[in-house]
Structures are given as structure tokens and as C-alpha cells.
Amino acid sequence: MSNKSIGEVISSLRKEKGMTQSDLAEKMNVTDKAVSKWERNLSCPDVNSIPKLAEILGTTVEELLNAQGKKENNKINEIINIALIGIGLAMGICIMVTSILKQIDMNSAITMLGIGMTSFGIYLLKNKDSK
């Protein structure tokens, strides 16, 4: 379950129990549309209903919440990766444009180049284990 979203966890545990979305909805006192939205990650179960959901699905509250947390961490990591690449590219573009316009001195260019290279380096180090 470690790389699954909360919706994927709910869906797989529900199926393991041989329940339909309607069966789970009835036990949770919600509509089958609500269960469908949970499983498609369009919404999440109410915080107060998580313990009951965990009990019905035969899992722990921690496992359900960890699934959601990992999904959110993946989004945060994607944003950080985009920012690191963006900083590197922005520094490179800025150096090129300002040098063409002869509006940059050597010290500033080297500083900006260092910032850009450091951003790329952090990105590569951060993602070396994921490949």
C-alpha cells in the first residue's frame, strides 16, 4: 500500500473484502457516489469517519492516512523539482540575455551561474535514488 493514494487503498481493500461501492456506502452511511469520489481521489472521507472506514476495511487509521500523506508528498516533490530546474534555467537565460545586451559584469555572471548550477546539482542529487 505504500505508493498508493488513499483512494487506491480504499478501492483495493474494499475489493479484497468482496464489497461493492454500494455495500461500503451503506456501512459508512454515505452514498455510493461519495465512495466513488473517494476512490477516484476527487474527495476524501470526513476526518471523523476515518476510524470507522479503517475498521470496515480491516486496516488501521495510520495506514489510510499514510497513503494520503505519500500522495501529497509526491506533489510537493514535483513542485520542488520544477522549481529547481526553473531556477537553473532562469539563471542561464538571464546570463545570456544580459551578456548579449552587455549589461552584466563578470562577478554577477559567475554568481548567477553558480546559483543555476547549484539548483541543477540539488535536483540531480535529490532524484538520484528514484531512478
Place of cell 456501512: 27
Count CB neighbours of 119 within 10 A.
19
pLDDT at 1: 42
pLDDT at 69: 57
What digits encode the pLDDT tens for the residues 36-59? 999 998 888 988 899 999 999 999
Q: Is the pTM of this model over 0.85?
A: no
Place of cell 459508512: 28
* Average pLDDT score over the chain: 88
What is the average pLDDT across 72-96?
A: 87
Q: Which amino acid is residue 119, in one-letter code?
A: S
pLDDT classification of 4: cutoffs 50, 70, 90: confident
What is the average pLDDT across 102-118?
A: 92
Query: In this predicted model, which residue has the larger pLDDT, 6 or 85?
Result: 85
pLDDT at 10: 93
Alpha helices in 1-131 (DSSP H): 6-16, 21-28, 32-39, 50-57, 61-100, 106-127
Count CB neighbours of 23 within 10 A.
15
Count CB neighbours of 50 within 10 A.
16
C-alpha cell at 100: 548579449
